[in-house]
């Protein structure tokens, strides 16, 4: 069993490197957006990467106490995602609206065509 673990010593550094690459790609999505839900999903993905990195660190260091930290971070991440969802729902934002641009002009009045019963025919 020990020889199997010693033979796979390259797996953990590779995994940490792939986590770093994934975090970089998610950070690009976080910065570029373009919409608020994209940014919320990016934050959630970064948190999940952090949770898995903490779990990998617990395995690499042999510290099972770090798994408690990962569980607490997962719970806080869940609560944050729910809070963002409630915030977007309260403000009435759709999935296609941007956070960075907001139209403050009043809506133009619309002139609706009369229906069949309104024009007296």
pLDDT in tens, the chain (121 residues): 455 555 567 788 888 899 999 999 999 999 988 888 888 889 999 999 999 999 989 988 888 899 999 999 999 999 988 888 888 777 665 555 555 555 555 566 666 555 665 555 5
Whether residue 104 is contained in a domain is answered as no
Q: Identify the pLDDT of residue 31.
A: 92
Whether residue 45 is contained in a domain is answered as yes
Q: Identify the pLDDT of residue 48.
A: 94
Instruction: Look up the domain containing 66 and give its range.
Output: 11-91
Domain count, the chain: 1
Give the span between the Cα atoms of 85 and 20, in whole angstroms: 27
Give the span between the Cα atoms of 102 and 112, in whole angstroms: 26
Q: How many CB atoms lie within 10 A of CB 64?
A: 9
Whether residue 82 is contained in a domain is answered as yes
What CATH number is given to the structural domain containing 28?
1.10.287
Q: Identify the pLDDT of residue 10.
A: 79
> Do residues 60 and 12 make contact, with C-beta atoms less than 8 angstroms apart?
yes
Whether residue 2 is contained in a domain is answered as no
Whether residue 117 is contained in a domain is answered as no
Whether residue 119 is contained in a domain is answered as no
Whether residue 56 is contained in a domain is answered as yes
Whether residue 85 is contained in a domain is answered as yes
Q: How many CB atoms lie within 10 A of CB 42?
A: 19
Give the span between the Cα atoms of 121 and 115, in whole angstroms: 10
């Amino acid at each position: 069993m020990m020889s199997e673990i010693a033979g796979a010593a390259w797996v953990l550094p590779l995994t940490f490197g792939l986590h770093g690459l994934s975090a970089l790609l998610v950070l690009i999505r976080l910065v570029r957006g373009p919409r608020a839900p994209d940014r919320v999903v990016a934050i959630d993905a970064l948190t999940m990467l952090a949770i898995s990195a903490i779990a990998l660190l617990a395995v690499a260091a042999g510290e099972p106490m770090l798994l408690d930290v990962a569980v607490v971070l997962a719970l806080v991440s869940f609560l944050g995602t729910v809070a963002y969802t409630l915030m977007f729902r309260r403000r009435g934002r759709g999935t296609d609206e941007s956070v960075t641009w907001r139209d403050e002009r009043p809506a133009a009045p619309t002139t609706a065509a009369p229906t069949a019963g309104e024009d007296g025919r």
